[in-house]
Structures are given as C-alpha cells and as structure tokens.
A and B are shown apart, each in its own frame.
Chain A
C-alpha cells in the first residue's frame, strides 16, 4: 500500500505546551487509521497538522511522496483534497442546501454539478426535507450529519475525522460509520484517519490503530495486534480500560 500522508518526527508547541512531540506516523491509501488516546493527548492537533492547517515547529509532513509546508500555495492546493470533520459541528448561517454547496463553491465547482451533488448528499443523510431551513435551526443530530456530509460531499482523498460521532444516538452513529466504511471501499486511493476515544468504534472501523499519550505515539499496530497482544504495556492497559489518567 502506498502512503498518502506521512509525518516525520513532527513536533508542535503552543506557547510552552508541547501538544505533539516527535511523532512519526503515516496513513496509507485504502486504509482506515485510528488514533486513540485520552483527552488532551494531542490527537486533534495531530489531525490539524495532517490537514495542513498548521505548520509543525520541527519535523516534516510528506504528502503523496512530496514534502509540504503548511501555509504555502502548494499546501493550499493540496488541502482541496483533504476533508476534515471537526469535533464540534458548526453550521454557517445559511440554508442546509447552501451549507453543503459551500464546500463545492469554494472549490470552484459549476453550479449545475453542485445542485446534483448536494441533492444526492442530502438524500444520503436524510436532510432533504430540511433543505430550505437555516442550518443553525437543525437539531444536534441533524447538524452533525450536515457537517459530516459537508465534508464528504467533495470526495476528499484524505478524510480526517475528529470524534465525528461523539454525542450522537446509536442510529446516527451507525449511519455515519456505515458511510465511512462505504467511502473507504468505493475508492482504494482514499485514506481515512479517525480520531476517537471510543474503543469500540476503533474496533469496528479501523485497520490500524495508534495510541497517543502525552503528545507522543506509544504504539501503532494492526487492529488485531493492538487489541490482543500489544507491545507496549500502556496499550494493553488502555484497551482493557485500566489506564488511569
């Protein structure tokens, strides 16, 4: 499998807090990589680095074999092929339709293509009868589905999911998880990186899993090994729910 994105010894600090420390990690095409870890372990920062939203303080990010510097024109172009679903769903103050269309308009799509694509995505996520409503008036579950759909709609090659199903009821969780699995299966060039603190979700969704702890990667292993006989004792404790933090 070829790598779509790789971090080489990446460190990111915010003032005097080191959020990510010397992390090397890669995601391959066709795989779902899970990142597990307690709150504050640096998982979200890691995703922001992968999204090229922020530049690392040291180390490098390599995308499709080429090093990239966040903030450059090259990064801006590459970011068009990355999609990130944030932990906190935020709708823009406009209709559901226009929220979905937004992700395509900023990528310069034709209006005629946008209409079809938006329609299809609304059907998929059960938002059709909400299409004219201001997105800010949606319920929590609808809002989360909308924000999820708004990222999936432009078919990013790299999909970054930050606790994408937190605070959702089981039916919605199942809907979104199924869509992620389907999305990965549709095209083998896609990489999905899934940040979660939900062990069961990681078990259901991921091919490989990394455990993050205090800004560092403790262990990366295929799912079976990660859960059944991890190398690091902290991983073992984490999957058994015995790790106290």
Chain B
C-alpha cells in the first residue's frame, strides 16, 4: 500500500510535471524572445526550490482558511501530487530547454528546407532530442520519489491514506525501528530502480 501510493503520487506528479515542463521547455528553448536568458536563469534556479516551500505553498492554498480551502484536498494524495508536480516542473523544463537547444542548428535548417511547417519543425526537433526528454522525466521522477518534506507537510503521513515510503521511513526511524526503516529504504531504492530501468529502455529505444 505504502509502496503503491509512493509510485502513484510520484508517477502522476512526474507525468503532470512533464506534460507542462516539456512543452514549456521546448517553447523557451526553441523560440527567440527578449529576456530568454533571464527566463532560463530563473528556471535553473528553481532546480533548488526547497520541497518544504512547495509543500508550504500548497498547504497555504488548500488549508481550510486558504483561498482554495473549499476543495478540501489537504492531507490527501491529490495535495501531495500537486506539491510534487511543482517540484517536477522546473527540472523537466530546464532539462528540456538544454536538450532541444543541443539539437544542432543545421537539423532545424534541414527540416525547414524539407518543407516542414514551424509546428512540424518543433515536433521533429523534440523527437531528435528524445534521449534528453526522457532524461528530463527521469530527473523529475528521481526528485519526487525521494522527496519527504512536501509529502509530509501536505499529506500528513496518515496511515493507509497518505503515508508514502519516505514518510514511513521517517516515522520508523523516529520510533527507533531502524530495521524497518532500512528495509523500507531498500524497497524505495528497488522501486526507483525498476522505474529507471523502464525509462532507460524507453530512452534507448531506437527511434526508427
């Protein structure tokens, strides 16, 4: 249960974060606009966005007296997903920016010369940057599966409801059950390994 919830929360957060971050990163990376450098710097700075701050933001927004309190999602997996998504977005956006910008300028010229519209050109460049885009998802997932601050703050570590692997490890450690904590740590690593193995297969899939 705890393991599945961990996977669920991190998985959905990664998917949501990537769904926002990849297009956003492609847009920033491929379009020319004023202030592009500043936007990139801000994105990269947000790599270091502290999870507890993300948690705090969601906590404030959805707490009973907060602006979105009527949704009543605080201390549910949904709130955890939202907080984790906020953490994924800058990472995925940043890695996407770098990946699409690394696709050689001559590839863009070639694709344009072949008669592609600007939309087709963008999609083709994103596909050329495939390895980097999967990498972006990996990094995003890696951040949230291992994250504890936001999950604790907005989830509350409620048994059977919002307890995930990282918050469970914290609890067991506090209660002095080191054996359990270490075992859960091993489970966490195995889960991460399984997901990364899958993503790596996806990454190395020959795009033919």
Q: Which residues of A contact B (CB under 8 A)?
A: 51, 53, 76, 79-80, 82-84, 86, 88, 90, 92-95, 97-98, 102-103, 106-107, 132, 134, 147, 150-151, 154
Contacts and interface: CB of A to CB of B under 8 A. Distances in A.
A161 to B, nearest CB: 11
A84 B109 CA distance: 11
Nearest to A47: B113
Interface string B90-119: 000000000000001011011111111100
Contacts, number: 52
Contact of B115 (A93, A94, A103, A134): A103
A53 to B, nearest CB: 6
Contact of B117 (A76, A134, A151): A76
B104 to A, nearest CB: 7
B114 A90 contact: no
B115 A86 contact: no
Contacts of B112: 53
B172 interface: no
Contacts of A80: 115
Contacts of B117: 76, 106
Contact of A86 (B110, B116, B124, B208): B110
25 contacts: A51-B113, A53-B113, A76-B117, A82-B115, A83-B114, A83-B115, A84-B113, A86-B109, A86-B113, A90-B104, A90-B106, A90-B110, A92-B110, A92-B128, A93-B127, A94-B207, A95-B208, A97-B208, A102-B124, A106-B114, A106-B116, A134-B206, A134-B208, A147-B110, A154-B115
Contact of A92 (B107, B109, B113, B120): B107
Contacts of A79: 115
A83 B206 CA distance: 28
A92 B104 CA distance: 11
A17 B152 CA distance: 60
Contacts of A102: 114, 124
Contacts of B106: 86, 88, 90
B114 A103 contact: yes
A80 B117 CA distance: 9
Contacts of A88: 106
Nearest to B114: A103
Nearest to B106: A90
Given A86-B109, A106-B120, A151 B207 contact: no
A243 B207 CA distance: 49
A151 B206 contact: no
A125 B189 CA distance: 51
B114 A98 contact: no
Contacts of B110: 86, 90, 92, 147
Q: Which 3 A-B pairs have the closest CB atoms?
A: A95-B208, A90-B110, A84-B113
A53 B113 CA distance: 7
Given A92-B110, A93-B207, A151-B114, 17 more contacts: A79-B115, A82-B115, A83-B115, A86-B110, A88-B106, A92-B111, A92-B128, A93-B128, A94-B208, A97-B208, A98-B208, A106-B116, A106-B117, A107-B115, A147-B110, A150-B114, A151-B113
